[in-house]
Amino acid sequence: MNERLYLNIAGFNIQIIFHKISLSTELNFIKKAILKVYKGFLLSKSLVRNIDFTISFFEPPRTSTISFKNAHYMKFYELINQTHIITSHSISIFQFNVIIRAIIGLLLKKDSFVLHASACLVGEEALLFIGGSGDGKSTVIRLLRKKYKALGDDSVIIRKLDRNYFMYQTPFTERQSWVQKNKGKYLIGKIFILKKAINNKIVRCNNRSEILKKFIEEFLVYNDKNLENQLISAIKYVNTFHNFFLLYFQKNKKLLIEVIESNLDG
């Protein structure tokens, strides 16, 4: 009997099938690594209602080297169709992460996209913070972490379900390794565009052109083939979501928490 694991990432169910091999140590190595790194995304078989994607592990070799213009590339997985990838038991957890990233890119189509952002949980809603490199995405959640649970430090997945938009955590390790990851979904409450300043204040932003420009700058692409659909989804989101704010802040935990709390009901 082939062993199986199930992951739930961004609301999608991914089935992992470990086909039996002669060298059980290789099977155990990658399986143990997946169980450790993806523990927050594991799904019990009894809860699986449908399968969105399948990863099949087979006996080595499933790797090959491709040479192009004096560069050498290792091919360690093969896309059989739009819902099935095959690979080898001998891959590393880093290579498995690459496969998962490719799968997310394939599954995110209509009304979904990936954003370069940090996030925290306030009550039952997620607050998202977007900005370029050095604008303070990691700084903000580090300052807020003792008051509010951090949900992401570098990237988040956004999906529309029914009439609401939800944020999902990516399964990848980010700059702040202490951020705990899981398969939960979080209703998006507000999105803050970060602005470093000498004073703390929050200003509602109704300038859709400015918001869209920042979204495009912080847009993450996991699959070029679905780029157009994901861009359309992001533009639609900017035009329909109304809780955008500019957050001017300094590196002061107490003052930052105060300005965030003063804005919760606004």
Give residue-wise pLDDT tens across range 59-94. 765 556 666 666 666 788 999 999 999 998 888 999
Calpha distance 159→181 (Å, rounded): 17
Q: Judge if 184 and 118 occupy the same domain.
A: yes
Q: Judge if 123 and 98 occupy the same domain.
A: no
Q: Judge if 123 and 244 occupy the same domain.
A: yes
Q: Judge if 22 and 86 occupy the same domain.
A: yes
pLDDT classification of 103: cutoffs 50, 70, 90: very high
Q: What length does the chain have?
A: 266
* Last residue within a domain, chosen from 53, 79, 107: 107
Which two tokens mark 89? Answer: 């038991």
Q: Judge if 37 and 74 occupy the same domain.
A: yes
Q: What is the pTM of this model?
A: 0.90
SS3 236: helix
Q: Judge if 151 and 203 occupy the same domain.
A: yes
Calpha distance 220→37 (Å, rounded): 22
The pLDDT value recorded for residue 196 is 85
CATH of the domain at 168: 3.90.228.20
Calpha distance 150→189 (Å, rounded): 15
Q: Judge if 103 and 128 occupy the same domain.
A: no
Domain count, the chain: 2
How would you class 215 by CB atoms within 10 Å of its CB: exposed for 0-12, middle for 13-18, buried for 19 or more? Answer: buried
Closest listed residue to residue 126, CA positions, set 163, 162, 151, 155: 151
Average pLDDT, the chain: 88
Q: Judge if 188 and 219 occupy the same domain.
A: yes
- Say how many Å lie between the first and final Cα of the chain, rounded: 56
Q: Name the residue range of residue 61's domain.
A: 3-107
